[in-house]
Structures are given as C-alpha cells and as structure tokens.
Amino acid sequence: MMRSFRIVARAFAGVAYPVLLLLVLYAIGLSYLVSGGLVSAPPTGRLEQLAIPVLYLAAATGLIRYAVTRAPFFLWLAALDVGFLVREYHWRLTGELVYVNVAVLAAVALRRYEGFADYFESRVVAALLVATFLLYLLSVGFDQHWWRFLSQSKAVRSTLEELLEVSGHVVLLLLNLVATPRAMDAAA
C-alpha cells in the first residue's frame, strides 16, 4: 500500500510543476488580456450560468461511466463533481462544505486506494486532477486578492475569477470523459 502511494505521489509531483507553470501563465495572460480590454469577457452572471450545466454534464458523465465500468473511481469523481455543483448554487454554507467534500473524498481515496490506484497512476488523470485543483486555487486567489500586482479593478478580478473557475469545471468534465486506468495509458 505505502509503496503504491509513493508511486502515485511521484506521478502527481511529476505533473504538478509543469501544470502549475502553464496555469499560472494562463491566469496572468488572461489577466492582461481582460484588463487591457483585448478580450471582452461576458458578464460574470453568464459565466456562472455556464458553470452549472458543465458540472451537471461532468456528474452525469461520471455516473454513466461508473454504471458502464463499475470502476469506483468514477463514482468518486461524480461525488467530486456534485460537490462543486452544489457550491455553484451559492446556498448558505456551500462554500465551506465544498472543502469538507474534498477532504472526505481525499480520505476515501486514501482508504480505498487499491480500487483507485490504476486511475491515480495514470499521467493523464494525474495531470487533469492537478489542473482542476490548481485552477480552483488560482480562482480563489483572484477572488481573495492574493496577487495585488495584477489588476485591481473589481470587474477584471471578478471576470478572471469566474473564467478560471469555469476553466476548472471544463477540465473536470474532460477528466470525466477521458480518464483511463494506467494500463490503458501504456497500451495507447
């Protein structure tokens, strides 16, 4: 168990740095394009409306793939999708509950690691999971004003936060669509 976990930790670390670099460059590029008026993003409300169908589609895809494959990874992934979906409705406490959901799902993945190992050891799955969480982290960073050297305009920050968040949802949908076990990665 511990040896397999080390393999996965190494796989995630191997993709985390390049993915982080690309996503930070993506966020900075978006920031300058939006703040410079070179890209006119839709109003934030439209971006939030886009997030909900993308997450419904991701959750449905995860549930369908679970029904077809019976791989517990897809049920786990659908639970992650639903957690982010509920948060998008902005009901009271859903912002905090998404963190609880992620923590519980991380504990489940560790506890039932053997059932998820083939997926977590896939470089594609690792890269997309890392990208999803980093996009959400960057989104929160814009929302919380962590990067003051970027635009101070509330409209720009809000737009960038929503663009990054919707990007995270799209990457999560992509993960639901293309996730394969490590053995299938090697065969392709």
**What pLDDT score does 2 carry?**
52
pLDDT tops 70 at residue 149: no
pLDDT at 144 over 90: no
Quote the pLDDT of residue 63.
Answer: 94
Residue range 60-90, pLDDT digits in tens: 999 999 999 999 999 999 999 999 998 888 7
Instruction: Say what the pLDDT of residue 56 is.
Output: 93
- Asked if residue 139 has pLDDT above 80, the reply is yes
CA angle 132, 134, 140 (to 5 degrees): 105
Per-residue confidence (pLDDT) for residue 169, from 0 to 100: 93
Q: Which two tokens stand for residue 119?
A: 């997926």
Half-sphere exposure of 161 (CA within 13 A, CB side): 19
Return the pLDDT at 155: 73
Q: What angle do CA 173, 137, 179 make, to 5 degrees?
A: 25
Q: State if pTM tops 0.95.
A: no
Determine the pLDDT at residue 4: 60
Residue 7 has pLDDT above 70, yes or no: no
pLDDT above 90 covers a percentage of the chain that reads: 28
